[in-house]
Amino acid sequence: MSSCDTCVVRNRAICAGLDSREINALNAIGRRRAVTAGEPLIWEDDDSLLVANVIDGVLKLTTSTEDGREQIVGVAYPSDFIGRPFGPTSKASVVALTDARVCVFSRNDFDRFAREHPELEHKLLERTLAELDRTRSWMMLLGRKTAPEKIATFLLEMSDRLAETGCTPTFGPAKRFSLPFSRQQVADVLGLTIETVSRQFTKLKNEGVIELPSRREVEILDRPALVSLAG
Amino acid sequence: MSSCDTCVVRNRAICAGLDSREINALNAIGRRRAVTAGEPLIWEDDDSLLVANVIDGVLKLTTSTEDGREQIVGVAYPSDFIGRPFGPTSKASVVALTDARVCVFSRNDFDRFAREHPELEHKLLERTLAELDRTRSWMMLLGRKTAPEKIATFLLEMSDRLAETGCTPTFGPAKRFSLPFSRQQVADVLGLTIETVSRQFTKLKNEGVIELPSRREVEILDRPALVSLAG
DNA sequence: ATGGCGATTTGACCTTCGTCAAGGTCAGCC
DNA sequence: GGCTGACCTTGACGAAGGTCAAATCGCCAT
């Protein structure tokens, strides 16, 4: 029995839609791997040797300057595809934010397999186009939004994204959730400093818009207010 | 004779690699269109009805907030592909910066054609992946770089991008070039204000790093200085 | 409970860049 | 040539957010 048979993202990842013969072939070139929180999987500017599907957990994609400034340029959730197929180098590092499990492929194997399976390439294309849309709307946030707008937009996005992956079949966005980010990582997503993030969180709490039961937990008390603040 | 036969981007656009029968079929569903500087081709949040290849000219991709702030999220040069295939809506407006010619397709026709031609989809995938890489490195700039770093990075990127499209077979980046952007548009690319852009340009000129022969012309006098400033 | 440590919050201060306003430049046009 | 209007530059000022430093919190090991 291939491990794909028991894969929880089997029907959401790019492997969805492959027939059982194809799944077996893909299974033959991939293997599961556990990544612990904080552990890197792919390094910026290294040769692109590895691509993967996220099975569970959350990972960050980052780029850094020489002097150590970091920007989180993407976040990968279960069923997302990570790595750079069809290109010699990865332009972003991938590091686990939580303990995670991924299904990794050598890039060469994956590239070859993908070129032989147009349906898979099509799924990858759809995903890449959607990711590009999301990335572009994040550029708007980075370039033109104020700190309060950034924080409000971020909380709403988290509330949407984390609802999708929850076990309980939730409808609509999550009211309460656990951030997979430290304050520094929130700052790295939004192009702010940790202090500014902290101050804005506190401000929203004092205004009764959110509650912060613990460092990582957020509860949205007044969603319309957040939507309005998000600009 | 199909207009593809005389197309100047025939060997660089995603149509490259199609055989003559396929080219004819693609030609049958596409048509050339001229767009004058300032004219929009696609509107943000509208139904995605149109995709296109850029034949010549430069176009901007933008997103805007309700209150009118604008962020340029991409720039399309000759041979680039624009529009949102396989999705219901365009998440960015496309507006010509210079007079331009494009080869447009109805999105439905294009989607159908692409699904039947895996080689074309593969080219589109490669392009989309490369664009995602570029977009992510721009996020680093928007989120973490200072105004002087942004301007230096921008000038170096322009010098590279505009060299590729020049008629004279240049080797390496252009030393002197004509910006396809107004000062306001440079500001919209970099997430700055027009005043800051102007001040930084003037500062670089006074420091002898660049020369500004006219409003749109830039000559790079000290490229190493620019590279060092870009951070 | 106590101590220690990293993460977070808070406060005081300061820099960068945005805002507002005025003036300059240039191309096209009469 | 001078007028017009769009675009750009420059200056004075202020606010948003960054920097630095100290206090606090939460958690784990003792």
DSSP B164-210: HH-SS---SS-SEEE-SS-HHHHHHHHT--HHHHHHHHHHHHHTTSE
Nearest CB among A86, A135, A144 relative to B136 is that of A135
Query: Residue A181: which of A97, A96, A73 has the closest Cα?
Result: A97
Distances (CA, A) of A135 to A83, A90, A92, A225, B149: 16, 17, 14, 25, 22
Q: Which of B71, B86, B190 sits opposite A126 (nearest CB)?
A: B86
pLDDT for A168 beyond 60: no
Cα–Cα distance for residue pair A47/A89, rounded to 1 Å: 4
Tell me if A104 sits within 8 A of A51, measured CB to CB: yes
pLDDT in tens, A217-228: 999 999 999 999
Across A39-110, the runs of DSSP E, i.e. the strands, are: 40-42, 50-56, 59-64, 70-76, 81-83, 93-96, 100-106
* Pairing, β A217-220 against β A176-178: antiparallel
d(CA A33, CA A50): 12
Indicate the pLDDT class of residue A115, thresholds 50, 70 and 90: very high
| Per-chain mean pLDDT for chain B | 94
Residue A120: what pLDDT? 96
Q: What is the pLDDT of residues B45-56, one digit of tens each?
A: 999 999 999 999
Calculate the angstrom distance between C1' of D14 and CA of A226. 27
**Rounded average pLDDT over A125-139:** 98
Average pLDDT, chain A: 94
- Amino acid letter, B30: G
- Nearest-neighbour CA in chain A from B118: distance (Å): 6
pLDDT of residue A77: 96
Nearest nucleotide from residue B198 CA, by C1' atom: D9
| Residues of chain A that touch chain B, judged by Cβ-Cβ distance less than 8 Å | 61, 63-67, 69-71, 73-74, 84-87, 91-92, 115, 118, 121-122, 124-126, 128-133, 135-140, 142-145, 190-191, 231
Q: In Å, how far is B215's CA from the nearest CA of chain A?
A: 24
Tokens of A51: 């691509």
How many Å apart are CA A69 and CA A139, to the nearest integer? 17
φ/ψ (deg, to 5) at A189: -75, -40
Structure tokens at A49: 């040797």
Q: How confident is the model at residue A1 (pLDDT cuts 50, 70, 90)?
A: low
pLDDT at residue A95 greater than cutoff 90:
yes
pLDDT at A229: 97
pLDDT of residue B168: 56
**What's residue B30's pLDDT?**
94
**Average confidence (pLDDT) over A152-177:** 83
Task: State the pLDDT confidence band at B12, using cuts at 50, 70 and 90.
Answer: very high
Give per-residue pLDDT as tens, B165-221: 555 566 788 999 999 999 999 999 999 999 999 999 999 999 999 999 999 999 999
The whole-number pLDDT of residue B153 equals 98
State the sign of the Cα–Cα–Cα–Cα dihedral A36, A87, B111, B115: negative
Which pair of tokens denotes residue B67? 């209150």
Distance from residue B215 (CA) to nucleotide D3 (C1'), in Å?
22
Using one digit for the tens of pLDDT, what is the confidence trace for A171-214? 788 999 999 999 999 999 999 999 999 999 999 999 999 999 99
What does the pLDDT read at residue B162? 87
- Rounded distance in angstroms from the CA atom of residue A202 to the C1' atom of nucleotide C2: 30
Work out the percent of chain A whose per-residue pLDDT is above 70.
96
Q: What is the mean pLDDT of residues A144-156?
A: 98
Question: For chains A and B, what is the number of CB pairs under 8 angstroms?
Answer: 119
Listed range (A112-116, B16-20, B194-198) with the worst mean pLDDT: B16-20
The structure tokens listed for A16 are 């969805």
Q: How many Å lie between the alpha carbon of B145 and the closest alpha carbon of chain A?
A: 9
Lowest-confidence region among A37-41, B54-58, B95-99, B165-169: B165-169
Confidence (pLDDT) at A3: 80
Q: What is the predicted pLDDT for the residue at B191?
A: 98
- Residues of A with Cβ-Cβ distance to B139 under 8 angstroms: 63, 71, 73, 135, 138-139, 142
Residue A163: what pLDDT?
Answer: 82
- Among A27-36, A126-135, B10-19, B36-45, where is mean pLDDT lowest? B10-19
| H/E segment holding residue B27 | helix B20-29
Give counts: helices (H), strands (E), chain B: 7, 11
Consecutive H or E run containing B101: strand B100-106
Would you tell me how many other CB atoms lie within 10 Å of the CB of residue B89?
13
